[in-house]
Amino acid sequence: MRLLDGIRDPRDVRALEPGQLPELASEIRDFLVEKVSATGGHLGPNLGVVELTIALHRVFRSPDDVILWDTGHQAYVHKMLTGRAAEFDRLRQGGGLSGYPSRAESPHDVIENSHASTALAYADGIAKAWQISGDLGRRHVVAVIGDGALTGGMAWEALNNIAASDRPLVIVVNDNARSYSPTIGGLAHHLSTLRTTRGYERVMDWGKRVLHRTPIVGDPLYGALHGVKKGVKDMVSPQGMFEDLGLKYIGPVDGHDESELEFALALARDFEGPVIVHAITHKGHGYEPAENDEADRFHGVGVIDPGTGRPVGVSGPTWTGVFADELVQAGRHRDEVVAITAAMLGPTGLDRFAREFPERTFDVGIAEQHAVTSAAGMAYAGMHPVVALYATFLNRAFDQVLLDCALHRAGVTFVLDRAGVTGDDGASHNGMWDLSMLQVVPGLRIAAPRDEQTLREEFREALDVSDAPTVVRFPKGSLGPSMPAIRCENGLDVLAESGTPEVLLVAVGTFAGLAVDVVERLRAQGIGVKAVDPRWVKPVPSALIDAAASAHLVVTVEDGIRTGGVGSALANALQQAGVDVPIRVLGVPEMFLDHGKRADILATCGLTAQDVSRQIVETIARRSSERGSDTDAQASASLGE
């Protein structure tokens, strides 16, 4: 039997003999490749934290001790060691195991939000609360941060607060992006022990007090000694920046040497203050296809052949690919176009632009707020920045969009990939808030293309706007079929029509195909419907208000939160214009969505052609019944008179 098969919770990990741990690590890597290649997921990051996760669960007593994963996609091994290995056949599938920590799954999981750079602030809050309650010291707080998360400003805000206290807190920096030579062996043990003993701290404090009281030579001598110490540290190790903040530093430690990790983590656990443990790991470690992938070492994969690492099946053109091509074309014809992203050069398609225009491409790390305000500055200086992000990550920079871009009428184009329901990665990765969130930003314009042609056209139109921010949003994955309009009415694309329209169906973005299907379904029932795509959905086009005024019922369908979204904005615009027409707003309910396939989630939300058709029929029937009741009441009143 495999060692992994006997792991039901971390106590089983702690019960293993040290000599068994390399075998366990090997089994975990084989298991990861087997399971993730079948379901897709974050393979590379988890292959890189196998020994680190084993060491964490041997040194700390989860869930009594709290282990926080900053980028939760690297918690697969943590899930295995907390008794969930048997559930990996349904990883990231509806009703199955989440690809991120999930409180519903296990008491060992804490942070479900998988946006990076947040765990240190969370850890600081837990430590403060436990200090008040008296639990701190008996229980330990551990935050694992890495995979680029230290490029986020929020992480450094937290470090500043953590360092200003003496609360025990262990920060593990999982460094898989830089190639420091690990300092291991006896000398490293002595140095780490020296730095993390209270005796050392007392000696340093005593020396500082005595030297400061020594006339004439005391202060200069202390300054000289401290300067020599700091100079040597800065020359031989990367610890200086952390210790300058007041954080004790252990490392660098070989992140694939489990015994070294245990030693370092035990020192950090027993130190009575905040400690950094710096572990050097290699993303994709132990899996040759990932190690040979210099781009991202299999950070995230779809279904792949486990032997070769190659994708299974060939997908067609993608939304991201079309945008990437259009951006390069724009760069060739417009010198003012520059590209900005936040640690997502490849996933957002900017890598193509970067290869051709490296001097006009800026990856700022996981720092969306900085990306947006930097873009505003570039717009002021005559450039037209294109900020490409996943839609969910723009949530982090709303203030900057509002006050740095819109207030200053900056000509910045935001390209939001993975907009709407994305599915597999769960609640925090659905890009379903942008249409509602951005509705309140004065002057901002939003385009929602429905196919390849409209994506190209609307992106070009966005680049022509120089006095306000623009947004172009599109979903994850492959492009659907072309959706040509049958005609254009005052800027509205008419997609399909049946009979004498009494229903105006407004389709936002990729719901154009659904709208055409609905028209055909209702045609068979003798209901006249006209489906339109406004293309630009903010501000509400005047042509859309005019079209609504001649309808008996308006229905909007959007791939975003229906509260405050496009449908809500249209309802408000109709009211302001004095247009009295009933409107039915269909979209994602105001709730966090469980992970699953996009089609399944949309069906759960009632966003299928069948559901929309049924709701239209029911609304028409109800209104007819209400009108009939009103007529009967009026007739009865007349007879009574």
Report the C-alpha gap between 567 and 344 in whole angstroms: 31
Closest CA to 367 of 345, 387, 338, 396: 396
Q: Quick check: do 4-183+253-291 and 487-625 share a fold? A: yes
Report the C-alpha gap between 209 and 156 in whole angstroms: 30
Peptide bond into 252 cis (omega under 30): yes
In sequence order, which residues have a C-beta less than 8 Å from that of residue 36 and are 6 or more positions away?
42, 43, 46, 76, 91, 301
Break the chain down into helix, strand, coil percent, rounded to 5.
50, 15, 35
- What are the structure tokens assigned to 469, written together? 């921010």
Banded model confidence at residue 396, pLDDT cuts 50, 70, 90? very high
Answer whether residue 608 shows pLDDT above 90: yes
Structure-model confidence comparison of residues 282 and 460, the more confident one: 460
Determine the residue type at 79: K
Answer whether residue 490 shows pLDDT above 80: yes
For the whole model, what pTM was predicted? 0.81
In sequence order, which residues have a C-beta less than 8 Å from that of residue 83 and are 6 or more positions away?
7, 8, 9, 106
Answer whether residue 253 shows pLDDT above 50: yes
**How much is the pLDDT for 184?**
37
Q: Which DSSP string do the residues of 275-302 spell out, in sequence order?
A: EEEEEE--TTTT-HHHHT-TTTSSSSB-
- CATH superfamily, region 4-183+253-291: Thiamin diphosphate (ThDP)-binding fold, Pyr/PP domains (3.40.50.970)
- Give mean pLDDT, residues 14-32: 94
Domain extents in the chain: 4-183+253-291, 319-473, 487-625
Answer whether residue 639 shows pLDDT above 70: no
Task: Decide if 252 contacts 279 (C-beta within 8 A).
Answer: yes
- What are the structure tokens assigned to 623, written together? 């209104």
In sequence order, which residues have a C-beta less than 8 Å from that of residue 91 and are 6 or more positions away?
35, 36, 39, 41, 76, 97, 99
3-state secondary structure of 97: coil
Q: How many CB atoms lie within 10 A of CB 206?
A: 10
**How much is the pLDDT for 625?**
75
Q: Which residue carries 């957002």 as its tokens?
A: 348
Task: Decide if 369 contacts 397 (C-beta within 8 A).
Answer: yes
In sequence order, which residues have a C-beta less than 8 Å from that of residue 17 and are 6 or more positions away?
none
Report the C-alpha gap between 551 and 463 in whole angstroms: 34
Angstrom CA distances, 449 to 295, 422, 460, stand at 30, 17, 12
Q: Where are the alpha helices (DSSP H) in 83-146?
A: 119-133
Report the C-alpha gap between 269 and 274 in whole angstroms: 9
Q: Percentage of the chain with pLDDT > 90?
A: 63
**How much is the pLDDT for 542?**
95
- What are the structure tokens assigned to 120, written together? 């240190």
Q: What DSSP state is assigned to residue 28?
A: H
Task: Decide if 431 contacts 106 (C-beta within 8 A).
Answer: no
- pLDDT, tens only, 437-451: 999 999 999 999 999
Q: Which DSSP string do the residues of 430-458 spell out, in sequence order?
A: -B-SHHHHGGGSTT-EEE---SHHHHHHH
Q: How many CB atoms lie within 10 A of CB 286?
A: 19
Instruction: Tell me the catalytic residues.
Output: 283, 368, 396
Sign of CA dihedral 46, 48, 54, 57: negative
Crossing angle of helices 119-133/153-163, nearest 10°? 30
Decide: residue 187, CB within 10 A, 0-12 exposed, 13-18 middle, 19+ buried.
Answer: exposed
- Give mean pLDDT, residues 150-172: 90
Pick the CATH number of 319-473 from 3.40.50.970, 1.10.238.10, 1.10.540.10, 3.40.50.10320: 3.40.50.970
Report the C-alpha gap between 563 and 126 in whole angstroms: 33
- What are the structure tokens assigned to 557, written together? 């369908």
**How much is the pLDDT for 219?**
56
**How much is the pLDDT for 204?**
47
Banded model confidence at residue 627, pLDDT cuts 50, 70, 90? low
Report the C-alpha gap between 111 and 509 in whole angstroms: 33
Decide: residue 210, CB within 10 A, 0-12 exposed, 13-18 middle, 19+ buried.
Answer: exposed
**How much is the pLDDT for 180?**
29
Closest CA to 294 of 305, 283, 286, 304: 283
- Give mean pLDDT, residues 421-448: 90
Angstrom CA distances, 228 to 204, 205, 220, 233, 489, stand at 14, 17, 12, 9, 76
Report the C-alpha gap between 462 and 412 in whole angstroms: 9
- Give mean pLDDT, residues 519-545: 95
Angstrom CA distances, 308 to 113, 165, 314, 560, stand at 32, 49, 15, 38
Answer whether residue 594 shows pLDDT above 90: no
- CATH top-level class of 487-625: alpha beta
Answer whether residue 11 shows pLDDT above 60: yes
β-bridge mates for residue 122, sequence order: none
**How much is the pLDDT for 112?**
86
Most confident of 93-102, 336-345, 590-599, 618-627: 336-345
